[in-house]
Every structure is written in C-alpha cells, then in structure tokens.
C-alpha cells in the first residue's frame, strides 16, 4: 500500500522585471475582449488586480521605483519618549524656578526677622 505525501509545496514570492511587467500590461490592454484578457492572465500566471496595479503604476510613472516607506504617524516610540522627557524637563525647570523664588523669599524673611530681633531687643523693655 502506497502512502501519499501530505506535504504542501510552498512557492517563494515571485517577482518580475520592469520590462516584463510592461510587456504583460501592454498585452492585457491590447486584448479587446474579456476572454482575451483572461487568456493573457492565465498564460502569464498573474491576477487581474496585479496587472491593474502595474497599469496604474505605469500611468503614474512610478513603476520600478522603490516602494515608499511607512507614513509618519507620530507614533514612533523614540519620538514619543523624547516628547515625554522634554515635558518632564520643562516641569522640573518650572519647579526649580519656584523653589529658587522660595529660597530667596525665605532669605529675605530671615534677614527681616534677624533685623527686627536685633533692633527690637535694644528697644524692648527689660523686666
């Protein structure tokens, strides 16, 4: 009794040179009937969506150019962390300013208190 293999063949991702894409799109566009377009797609082993996308890229002049990277969403973790740290730094600077003002005020109060104590003790009656 022969056993059949259950192994599934996995194909690698296909890629086409720009000239090949242009040739396939030209043949697809030259076919004047849906049957003719279907024959082109079957012969080349491509789906209509792929041929359509290549056609759009040819029309836009972007066929063969490198795909653009991800669009900036502002959700880059490093940028978010930098913004958080900058905000934290600003809060620390504000707190530092407030504490410096407090120390200056305390110094003035102490100087006033010492001045009053020194002058007040000379004028105060002794019991």
Is the pTM of the predicted complex or chain greater than 0.75?
A: no
Q: Give domain limits for the chain.
A: 18-60, 76-120
pLDDT in tens, the chain (127 residues): 556 767 667 777 788 899 999 999 999 999 989 999 999 999 999 999 999 999 999 998 888 887 766 666 667 788 888 899 999 999 999 999 999 999 999 988 888 888 776 665 555 555 4
- DSSP sequence for 29-88: HH--SHHHHHHHHHHHT--HHHHHHHHHHHHHT-TTSPPP-PPP-S--HHHHHHHHHHHH
- Residue 115: predicted pLDDT: 74
- Residue 25: predicted pLDDT: 95
């Amino acid at each position: 009794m022969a056993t059949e293999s259950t192994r599934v063949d996995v194909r690698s991702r296909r890629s086409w040179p720009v000239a090949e894409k242009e040739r396939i799109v030209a043949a697809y566009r030259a076919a004047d009937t849906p049957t003719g377009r279907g024959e082109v797609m079957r012969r080349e082993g491509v789906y209509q969506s792929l041929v359509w996308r290549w056609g759009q890229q040819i029309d836009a002049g972007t066929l063969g150019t490198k795909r653009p990277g991800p669009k900036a969403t502002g959700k880059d973790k490093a940028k978010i962390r930098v913004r958080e740290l900058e905000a934290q730094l600003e809060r620390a600077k504000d707190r530092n300013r407030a504490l410096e003002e407090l120390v200056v005020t305390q110094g003035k109060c102490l100087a006033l208190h010492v001045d009053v104590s020194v002058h007040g003790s000379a004028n105060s009656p002794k019991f």
